Structure 1
Amino acid sequence: MIKSFLEFPLMGILRGVEISYIEELVKTLINSGLKVLEITMNTPRAEEIISLAHRAANGRIHVGAGTIVCEKSLTSAINAGAEFIVTPGYFQGVVNSCVQKKVPVFPGAFSPTEVFSAWQSGASMVKLFPAGVFGPKYIKELKGPFNDIKIMAVGGVKKENMREFFNAGASAVAFGTSVFSKELLLKKDFTAIGTMVNEYVKEIKNIIGENN
């Protein structure tokens, strides 16, 4: 999963979605070209949603679980079929368990100490959150002493600024409510969501093409 994510470094984050339409939404995301999808565990019926999404994806999208804050929720997520784990902060016990289970993990971090500690603990990539607070410049500064650490920018990422994050040294980016807004989800406007996701996908392809 990590190899394919590094080759196409774009993740979508779903929070607060409903089980009634998750299969249709996943199919929309597949058709839009998305390859990696996080579903947060603080979503009602998250385990069931992850399981349904995983089956609907059928290997065409990597489905993982986010907002994992303890080993209990980690176990629930893995049992539901989560292929990778994302945390909002650096929780060493969760990271250690993922490393032992050989499950890709993206722990959240913000300060230089947190970023370094998360990476040293065996993170597949460090989730810099909230990346929008200081923007791409902060990643550039972090990559000075930590040039080997892979960083995923989360929070404040938009289609218009993705290129800046990569130019600053990010290895991946993730988007959430900028595309998966409550309004569009309530209306089940999957056409609009699919169109926006495809715009992100096209921009990533352009960035990848320029860097190769």
Structure 2
Amino acid sequence: MATNLSDFDSGGRQIILHRDSRHGTTKTQNGHSLPISDACPLSQGLPMTDEHGALERLHTTTSGPRQDGRIWLNTYPVVDRIVRDFTLAVLQRLENRDRFQAWLEFECRRQNNLFLGITPSDRYETGPWNQAGQCGEYVLHALAINGETRLAVRDAFMVYVVKLLDLAAQPDGFDPTPLEAEIARLSNALLGRSEQP
């Protein structure tokens, strides 16, 4: 059975996919064939629909560095590194508590703008997943946060910092094991994943 699906990329351009389940392929409007079996972690555990299938292929067909040096913001190692760098910056900033709250608000807002594709990045390339209605909606659901989708990533990083500070203030000393679980949880939510890499 063949179906045509459409979606929009981050630039607002319409993407049309032609899905042919008899041949196990999906063709983009540019004629690129993609195997239907290419699965995005977003849909694992969810019933497949044609819309999910279109989003899967749009979300996962390009990864890694681009020719212009920018890196796609759609793989676990990339997002994990961003969360770990943020964690280190938070722990280093704790010594200057006078300006910590203002810095934290700025950094969480910056992460929100990056992951929701609000502000273009010189270092990272975003895709259709990086929108409030996609990533933002999933982050709120996955992390059980009650908030607005347009600020979902900001709120997720704020909740993460509260957990980080609780772990850092343990009287028995710092145990990195729970922190690893929190890093994985946030990274997976930002990617639309429900499981560990």
TM-score (norm 1): 0.28
TM-score (norm 2): 0.29
